[in-house]
Amino acid sequence: MGHLRTSVWGPAEFVGLPPWWLVGEGLLAGLLGAAAIIGPTLYGAWTGRPALADGESGLVCAAALALYVALTGAGRALVGIVALLGVCLALQTPQAAAGVVLAERGRVQSVVVTSVDEGRLPDGVHERYLCTVTDADGIPLKVRIWRGCGRATRPGDALSVRYDPEGRVRPRGVRTGDAAPRPLRDLAPWTATLVTSSLVAVVRSFRLSGPPAPANRDVTRRRGHPTVAEPDGAAGTFGVAGTEVPVGTPSAETPGGGVRTTMGTPD
């Protein structure tokens, strides 16, 4: 069970609070990942680069963040959560980036409704009306407007739309009485959740124990004979003419009070 829990949720081999540097690494990874997902898409929408504004670069950055978390040794479940949240944030960012452009430099103009189509949201329950409109010169807009278009809207009615003078993002309808748009506010929950999950994944990847090191064996040489050091309290033996004699057994006194050790003699 311990191995399964480690592989799914990460080892988290620390006692008490995690090390401060580990928390910093998790926060930094989450913040940099979220910035890498949002930043290029916002830049692409502002400068009119579709390759960045479509959010594809955000998907690449989300995959890179998930790969980094996996390389730290995080659990598989947490790696999957980080990857899923990163993809969700990358898919939500293009609409928010277009809203930022319209909120910063967009202008409001009046358009005329030419037709109204009834539709439904993906949930199949709530209705949505789509209005085809033309500008003051009678030129139809390339997109249909749903903000401000309702059941009571009829052809010939006037609607307000917000458009980009540089034409880099699509125009949007403006509802009467709406407050100033705050498009980045919609990304705040996704960003906070992604940063939190990255923090948890990195913190739980902490591992104290490493792979077991091979046992060291001291090899010594005694008078040209290689022997393996024995544990404390154990005595090696050398065969002498078919008889085992403990190493270090005193056999005869030597001049000066020394001890001469009996060694085995070759056959």
Asked if pLDDT for residue 239 goes beyond 50, the answer is no
Q: What's the pLDDT band for 125 if we cut at 50, 70, 90?
A: low
Spell out the residues 6+ positions from residue 221 whose beta carbon is closer than 8 angstroms to its own: 227
What are the sequence ranges of the domains in the chain?
2-104+183-204, 107-163, 220-261
Phi, psi torsion values for 176, nearest 5 degrees: -70, 130
Asked if pLDDT for residue 262 goes beyond 90, the answer is no
| Topology (CATH level 3) of domain 107-163 | OB fold (Dihydrolipoamide Acetyltransferase, E2P) (2.40.50)
Residue 122's pLDDT is 60
pLDDT in tens, 7-63: 777 776 767 788 899 899 999 999 999 999 999 999 999 999 988 999 999 999 999
Q: How far is CA 63 from CA 22, 90, 95, 100, in A?
A: 22, 10, 20, 25
- Tokens representing 236? 């090696």
Task: Give the residue from 6, 24, 15 showing the smallest Cα distance to 202.
Answer: 24
Residue 238's pLDDT is 41
Residue 218's pLDDT is 45
In three-state secondary structure terms, 70 is helix
Specify the pTM: 0.69
Cα separation, 58 vs 193, whole angstroms? 16
Cα separation, 102 vs 181, whole angstroms? 9
Q: What's the pLDDT band for 147 if we cut at 50, 70, 90?
A: confident
Asked if pLDDT for residue 138 goes beyond 50, the answer is yes
Percent over 70 (pLDDT), the chain: 69
